[in-house]
Amino acid sequence: MAGIEGFAPNLFVGKTVFVTGGGSGINLGIAKSFARLGAKVAICGRTRERLDGAAKEIEALGAKVFTHVADVRQPQAVQEAIDATRAALGPIHVLVCGAAGNFLCRAEDMSPNGFKTVVDIDLIGSFNASRAAFNQLKETKGIILYISAGMAYMPYAFQVHVGAAKAGIEQLMQNLALEWGKYGIRSCSIVPGPIEGTEGMKRLADPKSLAERLSHIPLSRMGTVDEIGAAAVFLASPMAAYITGAQLIVDGGSGLIGSAFFNVGAEAVLRSGA
């Protein structure tokens, strides 16, 4: 629960939060942080069973939950999920674009479709959700939170697809802050560092060299999903009412040390054939 104890427990009562890819990991952590502060929560993803499991966890916190199977690459499916959320929970105040795909792959081994798939999920999917939620966010004077990554501003080895997608997300975030500010809509991104217990870490980090890599990070540890949830709650709260177009880096200082330690570990993962 790190981080949200300082927020008023009823901060998001009456508000609806929609999280793409909210069925697991960091995005589920964000959904739960809002639920703990009274929000109604909608999550979408491709897998019914995953959404059902996540819904149980969110409901256990006392929140009203709505789930909808939708692939963010399909604009019509996303629009249906967003419209159905309004019918079930009321208009959306906070849209979290967190759905993403990732795998380690050397650029020379990457197929065009592999590259396109990640750009489609992360970048195009984020636009699809933002566009679909525009009318509701205009009505509520809401906020969009994009879940970015360090790859957006620094090259990481074997992440050419993710770097392109996340850098695009940062530009999308700032463009919408610029264009939709006049409607009262804010737009920000969160850049998580390595977050413990997540699919991203499972896929990208070399378990053998992780401890050494972490020892070089200024705060010397991984972050938690709750710490990313706290950042999301802050940005969506009235405390951040004058913040838009901003990137909030929540990485324990990982971005300050470059990507070299990650790159060495990633090389080892690829060599091991895992």
**187 given a catalytic annotation:** no
Please identify, using beta-carbon distances, which residue of 35 and 38 lies nearer to ligand NAP: 35
From CA 55, how far away is CA 45, in angstroms rounded? 12
Q: Distance between CA 27 and CA 19 in Å, rounded? A: 7
- Partner whose footprint covers residue 117, from ligand NAP, ligand COA, none (CB < 5 to 8 Å by kind): ligand COA
Amino acid at 8: A
> Does the footprint of ligand NAP cover residue 38 (CB under 6 A)?
no
Q: Does 47 sit near ligand NAP (CB under 6 A)?
A: yes
CA distance linking residue 172 with residue 113, whole number of Å: 22
Examine residue 113 and tell whether it contacts ligand COA (CB under 6 A): yes
140 binds, among ligand COA, ligand NAP, none (CB under 5 to 8 A by kind): none
CA nearest 23: which of 52, 66, 60? 52
- Report the residue number, 38 or 251, with the smaller CB distance to ligand NAP: 251
Q: Is 148 a catalytic residue?
A: yes
Distance between CA atoms of 246 and 189, rounded to whole angstroms?
6
Question: Which one of 79, 117, 237, 247 is in contact with ligand COA (CB under 6 A)?
Answer: 117
Q: How far apart are the first and last CA of the chain?
A: 33
Q: Give the total of residues touching ligand COA (CB under 6 A).
A: 13
Q: In the set 126, 128, 198, 254, which binds ligand NAP (CB under 6 A)?
A: 198
Structure-block tokens of residue 253: 């200082």
- The interface partner of residue 252, options being ligand NAP, ligand COA, none and the CB cut-off 5 to 8 Å by kind, is none
Within 14-43, the residues that bind ligand COA by CB under 6 A are none
Min dist CB 214 to ligand COA, Å, is: 18
Residue whose CB is less far from ligand NAP, 38 or 105? 105
Does residue 100 touch ligand NAP according to CB under 6 A? yes
Comparison of 38 and 162: residue with beta carbon closer to ligand NAP: 162
Q: Is residue 192 part of the contact set for ligand NAP (CB under 6 A)? A: yes
Residue in 148, 187, 254, 259 annotated catalytic: 148
Q: Which residues bind ligand NAP (CB under 6 A)?
A: 20-21, 23-27, 45-47, 50, 71-73, 98-102, 121, 125, 147, 149, 192, 194-195, 198-201
Catalytic positions, please?
148, 166
